[in-house]
Amino acid sequence: MPEGADGPVVPGARARCPAAVARGERGARTGVVARRQAVGARRVSRRVDRPGGGVEARPGRRRRTETASTMTKILFVCTGNTCRSPMAEAVLRHRVEREKLAVLVDSAGTTDLHAGSPPDPRARRVLARRGYPVPDHRARRVRPDDFHGFDLVLGATRGHVRELEALAPAGARARILPLLAFAPDIGVPDIPDPWSGGLADYEYALDLIERGVEGLMDELRRPPAGRTVTG
């Protein structure tokens, strides 16, 4: 087979000059670039300008994750934040996670007596007995910004409610109530402090917490517009 400058010459094939070959390669590259630009234009067309700059997703493609601004935020408060309030935090968190409700839960104390300490071992024990995950929590004192950042601040007793009302800064948006306001049928207004008692006292405190949380869950299951205290 005859040899040409660029390899074997196939009989009957039309020879192409180098300039034509170069023009063909440039045309192919131009076509690839045009296709890429068209794909990019389609992607941009799926987004719309956001007022103030940037872009946002077209309606119908919203993210499904809850944002902090759409969540109901609840803070439980007792004295030292090692017994009653972390137990209430554990119970409510377990319930809302199980039902996939958009609720943020935390706890604090009216004093810094046990600041930085984990929940009391007796509280941890009774929680574990009933199948509640023990919160990875360190005691802290309630802060002024809690009254702006939470929707509900729930005291273990009416005494805590009075303390919280005195601590709340002007213009605070949080509603301050005793937890057992959500269980009026039991006829017990306060959750007694189990700290100086034994496991039976912690069990009783947890009994009352569960009743209060049951009533609170009834409230949280309603649409926000139909809630009486958290809407």
Lowest-confidence segment of 1-10, 73-82, 188-197 by average pLDDT: 1-10
Q: Which residues contact 127 (CB under 8 A, 6 or more apart)?
A: 87, 90, 91, 119, 133, 134, 206
- DSSP 8-class letter at 149: H
Give me the helices (H) in 108-221, please: 121-129, 146-149, 158-167, 199-221
Query: Is 190 one of the catalytic residues?
Result: no
- Please say if 84 is a catalytic residue: yes
Q: How confident is the model at residue 156 (pLDDT cuts 50, 70, 90)?
A: very high
Q: From CA 89, how far away is CA 69, in angstroms rounded?
A: 20
List, for residues 65-120, the tens digit of each pLDDT value: 445 567 999 999 999 999 999 999 999 999 999 999 999 999 999 999 999 999 99
Is residue 49 part of the annotated active site? The answer reads no
Q: Which of 78, 83, 106, 151 is catalytic?
A: 78
- Catalytic annotation, pick one of 83, 84, 95, 151: 84
pTM above 0.75, yes or no: no
Which among 193, 201, 207, 227 is annotated as catalytic? 193
Tell me which of 180 and 66 has the higher pLDDT.
180
